[in-house]
């Protein structure tokens, strides 16, 4: 697709002049490179504002060491928007072991180091220097959204206050921000002071007072810092009130002031979503980055279709419920087909649509009719521990969409790479979608997320019992056998999640061994802001029951749990050996088929174990059924997960 800089929103005064602009209404500061694609939050918010007649300039990846980039396009008339980008800047910069990452998929050429740690705070402080304290500052995106209350910060290993206090911004927009930004922009345009804009849903502000009759008072920031029990209570109350229909205002005291969160903004309707995705995006990164090799993050999304938002799966390690919400809304078939047709006209389109999905691919609407009027249940989950009896389980709409997309001229294959929620799929009494999924939408491997096989661990994850996954796996291989295809499941697995003991990790290693699964890449639990699991990690408590939870925290134990997932790797031998010794599972050290590792050289039992002839047969569990010996590849250690804990990019 041929593009010119003039087709993108301005990034310089030269671009402004080409449009005949002498000033901006809003300057958008973002910690990602400028990619004008609806998978990037800054693209959606800026295009939504453009549609409403506002002049928006993009300042992407500014050099925060000086004010030059911040002031290059002049002083905006109405305000400055700030987002750290599609991923929390700390998650973007550091691995779970707190080591610096080597690249940045959202920067030119993948170059690391172009944004600061805690980017939202740094950018806001620079804006204050550049434009003075009277310039309205509006913050949003994942980093702001998930740090809106006093929160545990893994990197500082302490409770930090709301990012709204540290950034000194005026308004924090949480969740998906299209409606919030338009309402705020209109009121600023009409001359209203930003200090008076305190009643917009989906926003937070700081106040010296609050309405006691209509609000829920959380434990204060100071109480959360002093008491882990208070922090767990705060986490639970926040989760309960994230309901756009019946949720209450939340208030949290910070010293002598209050952080006030208005109830969530209702999700966009199908029509509204269609309008957002029909805006004139360039569907590419700005040409200015071409000389640096482009922006790597575009590769995964350029030929993908974002079909839905929200997730009623509510895994405890994922912040989607806290950011996008639990009510699923979807675009219309017509909207998605129109985008796919446009995709086929791109010069670099090869005929393959990489994905049709979202947070969870096979959700096409609310879990039940109740969610459209009163939202998701306060103290119950839709799929955990078992599907709610009121849930409407059907893949008819999703299947109809996929069939239409497959029929488009120029489309060779339509893949599904977003997460398939297997416990939802296996409870669909109609196998038509399951069969067509295997026939048309998989390229040899289907990635799914059982995460673990110990029911003890799965309970703390908010995932179904392992028997549910086994049932799904068995049907998957049965269908593939019927259609004559040799395809495999690739299970995402996680080590060291709260609740996971070393014995649970050994149990998972046994399971992998019995099923001949050899994950080449695995993921340790990452305590990102805004998740229930992070609360468990910090407090050692389940916030919903207030019962104690075992948390693996020592570097040695976490290393052992992770090594057990890759027990075949020679580099992991000592860790696996130590883990088996510590758990009293030396029966798994030997020469029998069921053993994970052989004895070390010189071991006094070596000769005895060598004589064992290995007659014990492999088990026939169904986590992977990798009988062909092909490697099942799990989640990458260096893979950047969004701060919601999800593997996709979520924006606000």
CB 447 within 8 A of CB 419: yes
Confidence bin at 638 (pLDDT 50/70/90): very low
- Residue 146: pLDDT over 70: yes
Strands (E), 506-591: 523-524
Cβ contact 191:179 at 8 Å: no
pLDDT of residue 623: 56
Q: Which residue reads 């052989």 in tokens?
A: 598
Q: Do domains 303-441 and 444-652 have the same CATH topology?
A: yes
Q: Is the pLDDT of residue 651 over 90?
A: no
Top-level class of domain 303-441: alpha beta
Asked if 525 contacts 466 with a C-beta cutoff of 8 angstroms, the reply is: no
**What residues contact residue 341 under an 8 Å CB cut-off, 6+ apart?**
408
DSSP string, 261-311: EPPPPPPPPHHHHHHHHTS---SEE-GGGGGGT--TTHHHHTTEEE-EE--
pLDDT of residue 520: 74
Check whether 339 has a pLDDT greater than 50: yes
Q: So what's the pLDDT on residue 641? A: 37
For domain 5-198, give the fold: Rossmann fold (3.40.50)
Mean pLDDT on 330-350: 97
Contacts (Cβ under 8 Å, ≥6 apart) of 363: 308, 310, 311, 312, 313, 328, 421, 424
Percent of the chain with pLDDT over 90: 88
> Where are the domains positioned within the chain?
5-198, 303-441, 444-652
State mean pLDDT over 567-594. 96
Q: Contact 519/493 with Cβ under 8 angstroms?
A: yes
Q: Which residue has the tokens 């300057």?
A: 27
Strand pairing class (355-357; 304-306): parallel
Q: How far apart are the first and last CA of the chain?
A: 27
- The radius of gyration computed from the CA coordinates of the chain, to the nearest angstrom, equals 25
Q: Is the pLDDT of residue 650 over 70?
A: no
Query: What confidence tier does 604 reach under pLDDT thresholds 50, 70, 90?
Result: low
Fold classified for 444-652: Transcription Regulator spoIIAA (3.30.750)
Out of 378-387, 625-634, 637-646, give the one with best mean pLDDT. Answer: 378-387
Per-residue confidence at 610, pLDDT binned at 50, 70, 90?
Answer: low
Q: Which residues pair with 260 in a beta bridge?
A: 205, 251
Among 424, 326, 327, which residue's Cα sits nearest to residue 383? 424
pLDDT, mean of residues 570-586: 97
Predicted confidence at residue 639, as pLDDT, reads 36
Average pLDDT, integer, range 477-491: 96
Q: What are phi and psi of 308, to 5 degrees?
A: -150, 170
* Confidence check: pLDDT of 369 > 70: yes
Tens digit of each residue's pLDDT (9 = 90 or more) over 55-67:
999 999 999 999 9
Query: What is the Cα–Cα distance from 614 to 630, expressed in whole angstroms?
Result: 23
The 10s digit of each residue's pLDDT in 223-273 is 999 999 999 999 999 999 999 999 999 999 999 999 999 999 999 999 999
pLDDT digits (tens, 9 = 90+) for 509-561: 999 999 989 887 789 999 999 999 999 999 999 999 999 999 999 999 999 99
- Name the band, by pLDDT with cuts 50, 70 and 90, for residue 418: confident
State the pLDDT at residue 616: 40
Average pLDDT over residues 107-128: 97
Residue 321: the pLDDT is 85
Average pLDDT, the chain: 92
Distance, in Å, from the CA atom of 390 to the CA atom of 377, rounded to the nearest integer, reads 11
Mean pLDDT computed over 416-440: 96
What's the confidence (pLDDT) of residue 352? Answer: 97
Q: Name the DSSP letter for residue 597.
A: B
Per-residue pLDDT tens for 154-170?
999 999 999 999 999 99
Q: Is the pLDDT score of 643 beyond 50?
A: no
Categorise residue 353: left if φ over 0, alpha if ψ from -120 to 50, beta otherwise: beta
Confidence of residue 618 (pLDDT cuts 50, 70, 90): very low
What residues contact residue 133 under an 8 Å CB cut-off, 6+ apart?
none
581's CB contacts (< 8 A; 6+ apart) are: none
H/E element holding 46? helix 41-51
């Amino acid at each position: 697709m041929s593009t010119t800089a003039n087709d993108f929103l301005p990034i310089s005064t030269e671009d402004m002049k080409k449009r005949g602009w002498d000033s901006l209404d809003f300057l958008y500061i973002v910690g990602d490179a400028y990619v004008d694609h609806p998978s990037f939050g800054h693209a959606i918010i800026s295009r939504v504002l453009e549609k409403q007649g506002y002049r928006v300039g993009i300042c992407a990846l500014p050099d925060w060491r000086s004010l030059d980039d911040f002031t290059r396009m002049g002083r905006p008339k109405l305000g400055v928007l700030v987002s750290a980008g599609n991923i929390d800047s700390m998650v973007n910069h550091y691995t779970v072991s707190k080591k610096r990452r080597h690249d940045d998929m959202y920067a030119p050429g993948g170059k690391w180091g172009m944004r600061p740690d805690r980017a939202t705070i740094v950018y806001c402080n620079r804006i204050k220097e550049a434009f003075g304290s009277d310039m309205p500052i509006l913050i949003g995106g994942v980093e702001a959204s998930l740090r809106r209350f006093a929160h545990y910060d893994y990197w500082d290993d302490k409770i930090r206050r709301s990012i709204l206090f540290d950034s000194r911004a005026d308004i924090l927009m949480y969740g998906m921000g299209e409606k919030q930004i338009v309402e705020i922009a209109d009121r600023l345009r009409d001359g209203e002071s930003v200090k008076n804009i305190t009643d917009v849903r989906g926003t937070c502000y700081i106040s010296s007072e609050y309405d006691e009759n209509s609000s829920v008072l959380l434990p204060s920031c100071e109480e959360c810092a002093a008491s882990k029990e208070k922090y767990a209570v705060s986490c639970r109350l926040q989760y309960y009130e994230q309901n756009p229909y019946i949720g209450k205002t939340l208030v949290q005291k910070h010293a002598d002031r209050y952080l006030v969160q208005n109830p969530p903004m209702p999700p966009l309707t199908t029509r509204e979503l269609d309008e957002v995705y029909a805006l004139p995006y360039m569907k590419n990164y700005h040409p200015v980055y071409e000389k640096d090799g482009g922006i790597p993050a575009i590769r995964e999304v350029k030929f993908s279709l974002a079909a839905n938002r929200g997730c009623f799966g509510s895994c405890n390690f994922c912040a989607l419920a806290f950011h996008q919400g639990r009510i699923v809304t979807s675009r219309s078939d017509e909207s998605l087909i129109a985008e796919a047709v446009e995709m086929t006209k791109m010069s670099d389109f090869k005929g393959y649509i990489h994905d049709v999905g979202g947070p969870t691919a096979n959700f096409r609407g609310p879990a039940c009719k109740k969610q459209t009027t009163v939202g998701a249940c306060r103290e119950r989950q839709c799929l955990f521990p078992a599907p709610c009896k009121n849930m409407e389980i059907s893949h008819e709409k999703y299947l109809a969409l996929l069939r239409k997309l497959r029929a488009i001229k120029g489309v060779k294959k339509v893949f599904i790479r977003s997460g398939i929620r297997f416990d939802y799929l296996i409870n669909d009494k109609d196998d038509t979608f399951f069969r067509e999924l295997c026939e048309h939408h998989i390229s040899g491997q289907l990635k799914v997320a059982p995460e673990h096989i110990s029911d003890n661990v799965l309970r703390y994850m908010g995932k179904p019992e392992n028997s549910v996954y086994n049932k799904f796996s068995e049907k998957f291989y049965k269908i593939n056998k019927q259609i004559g295809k040799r395809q495999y499941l690739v299970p995402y697995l996680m080590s060291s999640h709260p609740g996971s003991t070393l014995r649970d990790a050994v149990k998972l290693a046994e399971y992998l061994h019995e099923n001949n699964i050899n994950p080449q890449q695995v993921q340790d639990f990452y305590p990102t802001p805004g998740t229930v699991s992070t609360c468990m990690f910090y407090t050692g408590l389940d916030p919903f029951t207030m019962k104690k939870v075992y948390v693996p925290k020592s570097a040695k134990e976490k290393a052992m749990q992770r090594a057990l997932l890759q027990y075949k790797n020679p580099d992991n031998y000592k860790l696996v050996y130590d883990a088996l010794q510590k758990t009293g599972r030396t029966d798994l050290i030997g020469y029998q088929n069921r053993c994970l590792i052989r004895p070390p050289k010189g071991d006094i039992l070596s000769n005895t174990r060598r004589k064992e002839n290995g007659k014990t047969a492999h088990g026939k569990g169904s986590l992977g059924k990798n009988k062909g010996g092909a490697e099942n590849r799990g989640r990458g250690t260096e893979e950047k997960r969004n701060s919601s804990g999800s593997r996709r990019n979520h924006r606000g």
